[in-house]
Amino acid sequence: MTLMACSLRAARPALIAYLSCVLTLGTFAQQRPAQRAQAAPKKLNVAVLDFDARGGLTKEEAATLSDAFQTEIVSVGEFTVIDRQRIKQILEEQGFQSSEACSQVECIVEAGKILKVERMFAGTIGKVGSLFNVNIQVIDIATAQIISNKARQHRGDIEDLLSEIIPNMARQIAGEIVGKKYDEVGGGGGWLWYAAGAVVLGGGAAAAILLKSKKVEPGIIPQELPKSPDFP
């Protein structure tokens, strides 16, 4: 046996071990992306039905508020949301009679099965005098159970529903479903500036700031704030 043959025979185990290691690392590298993809949580398929307009609101206003709710649900990025125009198209194609508004649980579950979603958002919005009443439900389609029911009353402009109240209700409901807490949109904090203005400016000027920042109910005479103390 030659010296070269002996060297090759001696090196064969090390070569086999090296090749085995390379193959193992390659297989592991190919599996890791797949494992990461499997580890990513599956997003819930959801749909937002047109809110049912009650006394004092038109269908168009309720639909606009429904759009605001869906926009916020989409923005949190935790759900696969069916476009609302697509919802109407699918329900109409399937002969669903209540494609525009649906507030009863049986109706919502039926629509959810047609849309093949796991959760449905539905609600009612009405107005009595100057008081708005908003009620939004989350229905689990598999169990036909109401898993969340949020109600809010608001005395003021309908624009407040569109810009703050409805979006904040959407963020609160979404957070409860996925186990997260989202910051509210809008919100107060301006009253700190108004209070500061009352201390610095005093009297009538402070009252003017407060009057500009908050509506005064008819028949109520605003009281002038006390004057600021004289500093030595």
> Looking at residue 224, what is its pLDDT?
47
pTM across the whole model: 0.63
- SS3 label, residue 158: helix
Q: What is the dihedral of CA 138, 144, 145, 149, to 10 degrees?
A: 30
Residue range 42-47: mean pLDDT, rounded: 94
Least confident window among 55-59, 138-142, 159-163 = 55-59
Record the tokens describing residue 90, joined without a space: 């699918």
The model's confidence at residue 92, banded by pLDDT at 50, 70 and 90, is confident
Between CA 25 and CA 177 the distance in angstroms is 40
Strand runs labelled E in 103-144? 119-128, 131-140
The model's confidence at residue 37, banded by pLDDT at 50, 70 and 90, is very low
> Looking at residue 188, what is its pLDDT?
45
Residue range 80-99: mean pLDDT, rounded: 82
Residue range 99-117: mean pLDDT, rounded: 81
Determine how many CB atoms are found less than 10 A away from the CB of residue 23. 10
Surface-to-core class of residue 166, CB atoms within 10 Å of its CB (0-12 exposed, 13-18 middle, 19+ buried): buried
DSSP state of 184: P
Least confident window among 12-16, 61-65, 170-174 = 12-16
| CATH 3.40.50.10610, the chain: domain bounds | 44-178
User: Would you state the CATH architecture of domain 44-178?
Assistant: 3-Layer(aba) Sandwich (3.40)
Q: In this predicted model, what pLDDT tens digit does every residue of 20-30 receive, in sequence order?
A: 544 555 554 45
Residue range 195-210: mean pLDDT, rounded: 36
